[in-house]
Structure 1
Amino acid sequence: MESVCEDFGATLSEFNGEADHVHLLVQYPPAVRLSDLVNSLKGVSSRIIRRDHPNQLADLLWGKNLWSPSYFAASAGGAPLDIVKQYISNQQRPS
């Protein structure tokens, strides 16, 4: 994820995941189209995960896809980044 962000001139500030989704805090330049960045993150990570874990994905796929075609993005322009990073790092499903 970090190298993909760097390719776009973006910075991956925080990353965390759960069994069925991930949370990323990315700072990216205004000239970058968010949809292009997200599609690249999904495509590259899918290829790497499929290469490294080919026998462990059958129950995790969306049809034939690793990632859902959708994504959620929100702006955190006014929030202190430390608070957003803390939120992302603490994402866990309740027991």
Structure 2
Amino acid sequence: MSQEVEYRRGRHVVTAMHVHLVFVTKYRTNVFNDAMLRRCEDIMIEVCDSFEAELRAFNGEHDHVHLLIHYPPKVAISKLVNSLKGVSSHYLRKEFTSPANPAITHDPFWSPSYLAASCGEAPLSIIKAYIDQQRRPT
């Protein structure tokens, strides 16, 4: 079962770039419920749109979220991450701060660290084998 790769086409470039991001709450505090995760996903979609990127998948648990983003080559992942975390922190604090959820009132919302893993259609071993099989001129 093969999937057709969706390519982004620019004036001088054709790309298929995806990144898997994981953001953890500060001190891995259990903050999220279903309503917060739904709102967080909406915020992440809006931020991705502003970077001309597309949020392909989103999910989370009580203390972290996973994102799969299809992005153009002009986007620096660190800037995208900074915006995703900053904007979501601002709106989630603004909309969900209550006596019932004191964990997000004073401390930073997200841990400063994050996971960013590049994703592609083929595993690295297949790409490496393909490169190794090229006929190098002698």
TM-score by length of 1: 0.74
Alignment gaps of 5+ in structure 2: 1-43, 124-138
Identity %: 54
Query: Is 1:43 the counterpart of 2:86 in the alignment?
Result: yes
Query: Which secondary structure state, in structure 1, belongs to the residue aligned with residue 119 of structure 2?
Result: coil
d(CA) in 2 for partners of 1:71, 1:57: 23
The structure in which a higher percent of residues are strand is 2
Hey, what's the Cα distance between the residues in 2 that align with 1:79 and 1:71?
24
Pick from 103, 106, 113 the counterpart of residue 70 of structure 1.
113
Give the superposition deviation at 1:44.
0.7
Mapping 1:8-87, distance limit 5 Å = 8-55=51-98, 56-59=100-103, 64-79=107-122
- Gaps (5+ residues) in structure 1? 81-95
Q: Aligned residues, how many? A: 79
Q: What CA distance in whole angstroms lies between the structure 2 residues aligned with 1:6 and 1:29?
A: 11
User: What is the alpha-carbon root mean square deviation over aligned residues?
Assistant: 1.9
